[in-house]
Structure 1
Amino acid sequence: MVDIRDLVPDIEESIHYAGSDNFTGAPVDGYAAPRCYLRTSAAQALQRVETALRKDGMRLMVWDCYRPARAVQAFVRWAHDLADVRTKALHYPNLDKSALLGDYIAPISGHSKGATVDLTLMRCVPGGKGCLPLDMGTDFDFFDPLANTDSPTATPGQRANRQRLVKAMAAAGFVNYPQEWWHYTLPSAAEPGVIYDVPVE
């Protein structure tokens, strides 16, 4: 594993699970620091994506990378606690919490292999005045069919932005998870049957 900032020191990060701004409403077990670790080949591929995007006035914002197995177990425990609906309005307004296990929250996550990343695309303002996220139609970890990459209920502009991200990531070998427009995996970097549980520190 390497820290993506070892390769791209100024990559934009907002690691939600290290704080309370996530669907559980609290810092998640295993995230002792807001860091993005990936298998070396996945980090190098992400570096290639970022480098190519910058030539077009765009950049990535990373939300999650390697995820310890203990964090995944914490998600499953949260999903089983049907009384805790504090984040329903923001993260799953149209679904009952009992429907989240399976398609949205799995007992084993590809993130724990160190080859999966959650992110979005930003367009940068000329003159070094910063970058703003593109309109993708939903926020990160919005559990709803609208978050499906090819959702017919997304606007044409939102669908076009999602496809920009798909194309940029695919150029480096990343594959999108169709249920979530932000979720990408580099299959060649994931060892079959290997799950890691080292805390993010």
Structure 2
Amino acid sequence: MKKIIFFFILGFYTNIFGQKLTSGFVYLDSIEKTIRVELRYLNNNNFIGKPIDGYYKNRVIVTYKTAIALKKIQQILIKKGLSLKIFDAYRPQQSVNHFVRWAKVLDDTLMKAKYYPKVSKSKLFKQGYIASKSGHTRGSTVDLTIVNLKTGEELNMGSPFDFFGEQSHPFYKKISIIERKNRMLLRKVMIENGFKPYDNEWWHFTLKNEPFPKTYFNFPIK
């Protein structure tokens, strides 16, 4: 009888709070509930234009160490009337495989005008926009921006998330002073709290001393 009750409670917990995660991983909202989340690969609003394999729920999964660092950053921003907003975090290998398959189908350019207007799809691999392995799959990389809590609007960063082009480089000069200031605000708070930036994307940061530097996971987001 006790075993039945235990498994009932375990099943109820899993249904409410999600799947049982690999050791070292957590749902971010179990650590910090106030961070905004819009997982772009869950729906059609992404560079492919379709939901991506492995994404089933709008819920962020990261390593525990990453969650603690993001919580600290969020507490700093809230005092300024701001909040983090996450577009992507842990990404299953099956999702990366989906990107790779899509990149090889050269006539599938549904979202080209919005996400890669000046880049030939045939060059996405060569120029590093698509790869067979991603740091996201190790669980300690996040794609994110900052939101104004009063207006609910994202700060203008000079280019949209996942825009393939020079305009997304953190130090791109042909944007406004306010846009550069917003990028540097995000960059500064992330670096000061344990993350390292990526040279080609203002939104992309990886936790220094990540716990799984050579392991690429493949459990789904649900």
* TM-score, with structure 2 as normaliser: 0.86
The residue number in structure 1 matching 2:218 is 197
Structure 1: give runs of 5+ residues left out of the alignment: none
Mapped to 1, the partners of 2:197 and 2:141 lie a distance apart of 10
The residue number in structure 2 matching 1:77 is 101
The residue number in structure 2 matching 1:104 is 129
Which residue identity is paired with 2:119?
L
2:71 is aligned, of 47, 58, 61, to 47
Which residue identity is paired with 2:160?
D
Map Cα deviations across residues 96-135 of structure 1 (whole Å, 9 max, x no partner): 111211421111000000000000011222xxxx422111
Which residue identity is paired with 1:114?
G
Number of residues paired by the alignment?
197
- Following TM superposition, the consecutive aligned residue runs of length 4 or more in structure 1 with deviations greater than 2 angstroms are none
Once the 2 structures are TM-superposed, how far is the Cα of residue 136 of structure 1 from its aligned partner? 0.3
Which residue identity is paired with 1:143?
F
Which residue identity is paired with 2:142?
V
Mapped to 2, the partners of 1:67 and 1:37 lie a distance apart of 9
Verify the 8 A CA contact 1:59 1:131 in the aligned structure 2.
no
1:34 is aligned, of 55, 58, 78, to 58
The residue number in structure 1 matching 2:32 is 8
Verify the 8 A CA contact 2:88 2:142 in the aligned structure 1.
yes
Mapped to 2, the partners of 1:101 and 1:155 lie a distance apart of 30
Mapped to 2, the partners of 1:54 and 1:10 lie a distance apart of 9
Residues 113-192 of structure 1: pairs in structure 2 closer than 5 A: 113-125=138-150, 130-192=151-213
The residue number in structure 1 matching 2:19 is none
Superposition RMSD in Å? 1.1
Verify the 8 A CA contact 1:16 1:64 in the aligned structure 2.
yes
Mapped to 1, the partners of 2:216 and 2:137 lie a distance apart of 5
Mapped to 2, the partners of 1:18 and 1:124 lie a distance apart of 24
Structure whose alpha-carbon radius of gyration is higher: 2
Matched residue SS, 1:181: strand
Verify the 8 A CA contact 2:139 2:212 in the aligned structure 1.
no
Structure 2: give runs of 5+ residues left out of the alignment: 1-24
Mapped to 2, the partners of 1:20 and 1:184 lie a distance apart of 24
Residues 51-70 of structure 1: pairs in structure 2 closer than 5 A: 51-70=75-94
Which residue identity is paired with 1:108?
K
